[in-house]
């Protein structure tokens, strides 16, 4: 059976082929919509505020990211979707101070990894086609 982490990577692989190669923002927003239920339209903030939806339940994340729930895909992809819209710096502040996901917790580390992916895609250090592989390498067991 394929893990939730692997399914997240597969969603990223598919989206990389559907989104224009220069549009990291569109890719990240689509990933958030398909994996975490954070809508693409103007009401995205309402979805993000309530924590999105678990479109992909399960585990398969490395121990340092695993909080023993089935919602880590939602957490990661939701963080990505928010950061694509408001930037990594403000997202980090919200994650740390509103959600209280400090860097020493699985969710805090997962949020930091989400922000790393956003930054790598936005700067062009990682092409969209490499996002699924990045997820597999960095997040999946």
Task: Give the residue extent of every domain in the chain.
Answer: 4-139
pTM of the model: 0.94
110: nearest Cα among 57, 74, 56 = 74
Q: Per this entry, what is the length of the chain?
A: 141
Please report the pLDDT score of residue 123 as a whole number: 96
CA 137 to chain CA centroid, nearest Å? 14
Query: pLDDT below 70 — which residues of the chain?
Result: none
Can you tell me the distance from the alpha carbon of 42 to that of 105, in angstroms, rounded to the nearest whole number? 31
Do 61 and 140 meet the contact criterion of CB atoms below 8 Å apart? yes
Q: Over the stretch 40-51, which tens digit does the pLDDT of each residue have? A: 989 999 999 888
In the numeric block, the tokens 């598919």 are attached to 14
14 sits in which H/E element:
helix 4-18
């Amino acid at each position: 059976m394929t893990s939730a982490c692997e399914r997240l990577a597969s969603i990223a692989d598919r989206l990389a082929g559907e989104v224009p190669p220069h549009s990291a923002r569109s890719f990240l927003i689509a990933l958030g919509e398909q994996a975490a239920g954070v809508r693409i339209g103007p009401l995205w903030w309402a979805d993000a505020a309530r924590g999105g939806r678990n479109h992909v339940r399960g585990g398969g994340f490395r121990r340092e990211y695993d909080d023993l729930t089935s919602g880590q895909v939602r957490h990661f992809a939701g963080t990505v979707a928010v950061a694509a819209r408001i930037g990594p710096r403000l997202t980090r502040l919200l994650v740390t101070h509103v959600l209280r996901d400090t860097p020493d917790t699985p969710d805090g580390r997962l949020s930091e990894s989400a922000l790393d992916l956003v930054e790598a895609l936005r700067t062009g250090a990682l092409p969209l086609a490499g996002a699924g592989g990045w997820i597999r390498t960095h997040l999946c067991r």
